[in-house]
Structure 1
Amino acid sequence: MTSRPSSSRDSASAPPSAAPEGLRARRRRETAQAIHAAAVRLVERDGLAHVTVDMISAEAGISPRTFFNYFPTKESALAVGPPPLTDEQRRRIGEGDPRPRRVLADLVDVLIHHLDEDPPLSGGRRHFRAMVRIASAHPELAAVVHARFDAFESELTGVVAQRLGVPATDPLPALLTGLALSVVRVGLQQWSTGGEEPAERDGTHGTPTAAGRRDTDEPGDSSPAAELRHAAALLRTLLSDQPE
């Protein structure tokens, strides 16, 4: 759920080959994620009011100037949202069989892969929980996160409406999008609470280590994809006796 910063200078100097552009985009995502992860670690440790851009930059191993190439404020580095859909993902959702069940199945499948590759989720359960705690403690951050998710839902609804051949104001695209996002919410909730330690439920979070991890972190934290797929399977079961 990381911002994808853009640079007109990079675009102007990019070679025509698609491969270097892919490498550059990956490096941008990796840097943005390193900044985001550093911000989360520091705010968890010191509190939002005591963390500065200089501190985040030092923790991420970059300069403050580089930080501002990615995020305008420290708050924006914390308030992440879903990454934009790729052209291929938009095509998979927006083209094909217009029957609602088929649209829903494709939408859920795309969202599972989309979120499974999202850098903040790849940080593991502890990182995800920390993001939730920080947003919950700071309403201004929660408002930004909700706004980004609302914009993402509106984007999805528009693409679904395109496939159905109906206006975006029609209730069916919104209903299908809402069902798909409910699968995501349930799957992420189940994943994020998996392996939760008693200490964390009591409000303590282990001892920080030099690497920014905590002594209760699972060394092999699982991907959320399995729980997302399980939630999708439950939805398919519920719909299995219904007509197309």
Structure 2
Amino acid sequence: MTRTPSCVLPSLRDRKREQTRRAISAAAYAIVRDEGVDAVTAEAVADRAGVSRRTFFNYFPSVESVITASVSDFFVALSARLQERPAGEDVLVSVLAVVDDPGDLSLVERIGVLATAGETSPHAKGLILAEFHTWLDWFEAWLRERVGPGPSDLHVATLAAAVLGCGEASIRVWSKAVVAGEQPPAFHVVLAESLGHLRSGLLAGTPVA
């Protein structure tokens, strides 16, 4: 029987470290969701994650970095969902499918919660937007692969920025309504509407697949 070389598989130590890192990141997100971004301290995150304060700083150098990690984890998951879509599918159909799929709603609502935190904390908002634009490089490469060699680099870059702009616009509208005490539609509904405007208006007559 052929054995898979042990060097290919992560060690038990590496798996445990990743589990701990994810637990700390998830704890930070839960505090933002339940109590707001101002409640995120090293002590609070460590306590909710069931680790020591020292362990927290072994994984994250600052409170800001754990908030950033929570946003980054969202984009890693979002990228994986997009990669799973059929290769020949229209790109906006792919994006909307991820947004509308009940199995993916927790991903979209996660960024909505973090965005609400950004409305009450300019610093947190800056961290979130920085991750948004870091992800843009990956998304542009994904679009280029999907649309093929026909559209120009500028066309693909414009489309990537436009889709990202839909996300930012949805975040602003949705989170401001939440902070104002209103009851807007679920965040994924707002994002789907924004992407619909992109297709019916801004992209009228433009090939995207």
- For the residue of structure 2 that corresponds to 1:44, the secondary structure is helix
Work out whether 1:32 is the aligned partner of 2:19: no
**Deviation larger for 52-61 or 187-196:** 52-61
Q: Which residue of 2 aligns with 1:148?
A: 131
- The separation in 2 between residues aligned to 1:27 and 1:186, in whole angstroms, is 34
Change (3 A) 1:43 1:185: closer
- What's the CA shift string for 1:37-64, capped at 9, x where partnerless? 437847525xxxxx75234423554322
- The separation in 1 between residues aligned to 2:66 and 2:80, in whole angstroms, is 25
Say which structure is richer in helix. Answer: 2
Identity over the aligned pairs, expressed in percent? 23
- The separation in 1 between residues aligned to 2:126 and 2:173, in whole angstroms, is 23
- The separation in 2 between residues aligned to 1:227 and 1:26, in whole angstroms, is 33
CA contact (8 A) 2:115 2:125 kept: no
CA contact (8 A) 1:89 1:110 kept: yes
- What's the CA shift string for 1:116-167, capped at 9, x where partnerless? 4238x44975x64223432x1x3xx655444322220000001111122239
Task: Specify which of 105, 120, 133 is matched with residue 93 of structure 2.
Answer: 105
- What's the CA shift string for 1:56-79, capped at 9, x where partnerless? 423554322442465332121233
- The separation in 2 between residues aligned to 1:150 and 1:222, in whole angstroms, is 25
Change (3 A) 1:145 1:233: closer
- For the residue of structure 2 that corresponds to 1:11, the secondary structure is coil
Work out whether 1:228 is the aligned partner of 2:170: no
Q: How many residues align?
A: 192
When the two chains are superposed, the root-mean-square deviation of aligned CA atoms in Å is: 4.3
Change (3 A) 1:64 1:243: closer
Task: Specify which of 189, 210, 214 is matched with residue 172 of structure 2.
Answer: 189
Written as runs of structure 1 = structure 2, the 5 A alignment for 1:20-169 is 29=22, 31-38=24-31, 41=35, 44=38, 53-58=42-47, 60-68=49-57, 70-79=59-68, 80-81=71-72, 82-84=74-76, 85-92=78-85, 95-97=87-89, 102-110=90-98, 116-118=105-107, 121-122=109-110, 128-134=115-121, 136=122, 138=123, 144-166=127-149
Change (3 A) 1:183 1:169: same
Unaligned runs of 5+ in 2: 1-6
CA contact (8 A) 2:27 2:45 kept: no
